[in-house]
Amino acid sequence: MDRGLKIFISVSDLAASDMMKGSLSYLGYTSVSVVNNTSTALGALLRDRGDILISDYPNLKGEGVSLLKAIKNHQELSRLKIIFLAVKDIEVSELKQLYKEGINSVIKFPFQINDLSKAINDAVRSIPVQVTDTFLKIRQLDFFSFMDDEEILKLLKMTKCRKYNKGEIIFDEGQPGDRFYVIIEGSLSILKVLGDNSEEVLARLERGACFGEMAILENTARSARAKADDTVLLFELDSKLMDGYDDIITLKLFKKLAYVFSDRLRNADKKIKEMALYSYSK
């Protein structure tokens, strides 16, 4: 990750602000500015063309000066990535609304260094899902064939699409399984890291394939590594959003995943039978 990113912190709680600044320094980020006055934060962002803003609810969406609203009204800040610092657990409805309003990633306070690194990584890789070209690519995928255009647009407003370059790690073995993906563009490999640090290819996945879903359904750590074979554009669905059972779109997603699991079980059963027949013939 580029340690030269210009990061602004606008957090109302001074202890949280100091912890964030110290953590960013520990991670090696050299351009970090604290602007806890919301009335001056916008000017600083416009003047210095920040890359990332880390802010909490009182400063970002509080009464009076709404920094989020002001940012959205300035075209000059269209490339700014926003990380929301949450001081309490986020409800599904709140997470959906944050994504709809343009938040790129979320981090819970207090946080670990790895949580912060992950939030920055997610934010930087976020791409605008309102782009017509992106919507059309998603519309063409069989995974979303059970949704109409309106449902896909609604889904995209409450989720994220992220981009990875060739050779970059999407997730690693042992990491928390908190999201699953659908490949919009490009290809990737699912790998097992061996004792000598070499990699064994378990599967190669192309456009339209979904992966990482078992970990979020079973609430377990990743059992393998996912790495981009070329430039990859991914649709990402956070596990928290899958808890929104009241949402018809979420129910449809579960139904689609059930079809995916069923198809994989049939294929696995077929291979087992083929292996048994081969073994018997010998």
Q: pLDDT of 106-118, one tens digit each? A: 999 999 999 999 9
Q: What is the mean pLDDT of residues 48-67?
A: 83
Helix (H, G, I), strand (E, B) or coil at 161: strand
pLDDT band at 278 (very low <50, low <70, confident <90, very high): low
* Residue 132 confidence (pLDDT): 62
* Residue 105 confidence (pLDDT): 93
The residue with tokens 């979904």 is 210
Helices (H), the chain: 14-26, 38-48, 57-61, 67-72, 92-100, 113-125, 132-139, 149-157, 213-218, 248-281
Q: What is the mean pLDDT of residues 46-75?
A: 84
Is 53:82 a contact under the CB 8 Å cutoff? yes
End-to-end CA distance of the chain: 53
Among candidate residues 137, 98, 138, the one with its CA nearest the CA of residue 119: 98
* Residue 152 confidence (pLDDT): 85
At residue 185, does pLDDT exceed 90? Answer: yes
pLDDT band at 252 (very low <50, low <70, confident <90, very high): confident
**Lowest-pLDDT range, 69-73, 184-188, 269-273?**
269-273
At residue 274, does pLDDT exceed 70? Answer: no
* Residue 189 confidence (pLDDT): 96
Complete domains list, the chain, with CATH: 6-127 (3.40.50.2300), 132-265 (2.60.120.10)
**Token pair for residue 100?**
């709809």
Q: What is the CA radius of gyration of the chain?
A: 21
**More confidently predicted of 211 and 213:** 211
**Lowest-pLDDT range, 15-29, 50-64, 73-87, 190-204?**
50-64
Cα separation, 165 vs 175, whole angstroms: 20
Pairing relationship of beta strands 232-238 and 160-164 according to DSSP bridges: antiparallel
- Average predicted confidence (pLDDT) for the chain: 85
